[in-house]
Amino acid sequence: MKSIKVMTVFGTRPEAIKMAPLIKQLEQTPGIESKVCVTAQHREMLDMVLDLFDIKPDYDLDIMKHGQTITDITTRVLKGLGEVFKNDRPDLVLVHGDTTTTFVGALAAFYEKIPVGHVEAGLRSGNVYSPYPEEMNRILTTQLATLHFAPTVQNFNNLNNNGISTDNIYITGNTVIDALLKVVKDSYKFNNEVIDNIDFEHKKVILMTCHRRENWGKPMEDIFLAVKEIAETYSDVEVVFPVHLNPQIQTLAQSILGNIPTIHLIEPLDYEPFVNILNKSYLILTDSGGVQEEAPSLGKPILVLRTETERPEAVEAGTVKVVGVNKDKIFEEASCLLTNIEAYNKMAKAQNPYGDGKASERIVKAIIEKFGI
């Protein structure tokens, strides 16, 4: 039987979460030798996911430095991956989404003339500075890739409008749903001191995350001031905020939200407790891409703390609202969902525009067909 070597390359927490089910699927497929290379653009936040899904990388470039710039990541990943690809020579490299690891992984493979499969292809915001640098990373990865795995029809159309042949685009759903369905359980027990002390029955729990580069500085300050006002206005609200390990975000979060008893600033959570607290929360405030895809499946209203989204499907479905980064607007929109039960119920409907949990299966099937295994 013909056999091919597929190397999966990723570096950050969201890429790891969304690649994990695909790696498991590759590992169990006859005719595919699965290899994993992590750049470790993230370190601790990546390792948490590798541990949970029991993934042992064949290569670990260990490139993370505190306070790294995009240029630092680009140069270190390009050099490291160039050597791995030259020595190991996979038949196909898989990259995911829109991080600097993604784009540079595709570039390093192109330099070695190795075909690239792009998982979560075709998302577009239409503004190269928002999200920055992710929108440009997606555009460049599209140009470098041979196979494009689009989560939705809209993503398929974006790629087609970019001149990609429909023969090379597969609509698969998003692997984030494959991962989510494996770990969300109504009976989940947290074993976390802060979360265990929260009265989910009588309190309205707001789960928030915030990390995007284009929000650094004044927009993030305004977001945090809005959350402070929400917590100080509504006595039945508790806020849980697992703070990204970026030192800039840690410092700002501590300085604005650090001394408010109903705001819990905690370390990033493992994926399992994170999606399970997502499942128990009343409302989600986030600028994360992945969380925008997970929360609609669980019927949780989300206010997106950004001025645009490349994930319009859940906005159209009604669970997600893009509210921007203005302090008064965020307070007003959150207040509406905290006090107006009709407005809340209108948004709190389980909608899942991102797939049925079988995206990894479809991606592997497409690879098998394309390589004639």
- Active-site residues, by number, are 98, 120, 134, 211, 213, 244
Decide: is 355 part of the binding site for ligand UDP (CB under 6 A): no
Q: Which of 21, 117, 219, 290 binds ligand UDP (CB under 6 A)?
A: 290
Decide: is 242 part of the binding site for ligand UDP (CB under 6 A): yes
Q: Which does 294 bind (CB under 5 to 8 A by kind): ligand UD1, ligand UDP, none?
A: ligand UDP
Residue 261 to residue 247: CA distance in whole angstroms:
22
Comparing CB distances to ligand UDP, the nearer of 266 and 373 is 266
Q: Which of 88, 194, 213, 268 binds ligand UDP (CB under 6 A)?
A: 268
What is the C-alpha end-to-end distance of the chain, expressed in Å? Answer: 7
The interface region with ligand UDP, picked from 120-128, 290-298, 328-336, 348-356 by CB under 6 A, is: 290-298
Helix, strand or coil for residue 5? Answer: strand
Comparing CB distances to ligand UD1, the nearer of 42 and 327 is 42
Q: Which does 269 bind (CB under 5 to 8 A by kind): ligand UD1, ligand UDP, none?
A: ligand UDP
Phi, psi dihedrals of residue 92, rounded to the nearest 5°: -150, 135
Decide: is 295 part of the binding site for ligand UDP (CB under 6 A): no
Assess contact for 257 and 224: CB atoms under 8 A: yes
Q: Which of the residues 316 through 335 are near ligand UDP (CB under 6 A)? A: none
| DSSP codes joined into one string, 236-267 | TEEEEEE--S-HHHHHHHHHHHTT-TTEEEEP
CB of 94 to ligand UDP, least distance (A): 17
Residues at the contact surface with ligand UD1, assessed by CB under 6 A = 12-14, 41-45, 64, 66-68, 70, 73, 98-100, 133-134, 211, 245-247
Query: Which residues, including other chains, have CB under 8 Å from residue 74's CB and lie 6 or more apart?
Result: 100, 104
Nearest-CA neighbor of 301 among 348, 260, 235, 233? 348
Decide: is 281 part of the binding site for ligand UDP (CB under 6 A): no
Q: Which does 214 bind (CB under 5 to 8 A by kind): ligand UD1, ligand UDP, none?
A: none
CB of 372 to ligand UDP, least distance (A): 34
Q: Which of 10, 170, 234, 271 binds ligand UDP (CB under 6 A)?
A: 271
Comparing CB distances to ligand UD1, the nearer of 44 and 236 is 44
Which stretches within the chain are classed as H helix? 13-27, 44-53, 70-88, 100-111, 134-144, 153-161, 175-183, 193-196, 218-233, 247-257, 271-280, 289-297, 312-317, 327-339, 341-347, 359-371
Q: Which does 274 bind (CB under 5 to 8 A by kind): ligand UD1, ligand UDP, none?
A: ligand UDP
Which structure tokens are listed for 12?
């950050």
Interior angle at CA 97, CA 94 and CA 99, nearest 5: 105
On the CB side of 124, CA atoms within 13 Å amount to: 17
Q: Which of 158, 288, 309, 319 binds ligand UDP (CB under 6 A)?
A: 288
Decide: is 357 part of the binding site for ligand UDP (CB under 6 A): no
Q: Which of 141, 152, 174, 209 binds ligand UDP (CB under 6 A)?
A: 209
CB of 10 to ligand UD1, least distance (A): 11
Dihedral angle sign, alpha carbons of residues 279, 285, 288, 292: positive
Total residues contacting ligand UDP (rule CB under 6 A)? 16
Residue 133 to residue 70: CA distance in whole angstroms:
8
* Edge-to-edge order in the sheet of strand 237-242: 263-266, 237-242, 204-209, 283-286, 302-304, 320-322
Comparing CB distances to ligand UDP, the nearer of 294 and 361 is 294
CB of 331 to ligand UDP, least distance (A): 23
Q: Which does 316 bind (CB under 5 to 8 A by kind): ligand UD1, ligand UDP, none?
A: none
Residue 79 to residue 153: CA distance in whole angstroms:
35
Decide: is 183 part of the binding site for ligand UDP (CB under 6 A): no
Q: Which residues bind ligand UDP (CB under 6 A)?
A: 13-14, 17, 209, 211, 242, 268-269, 271, 274-275, 288-291, 294
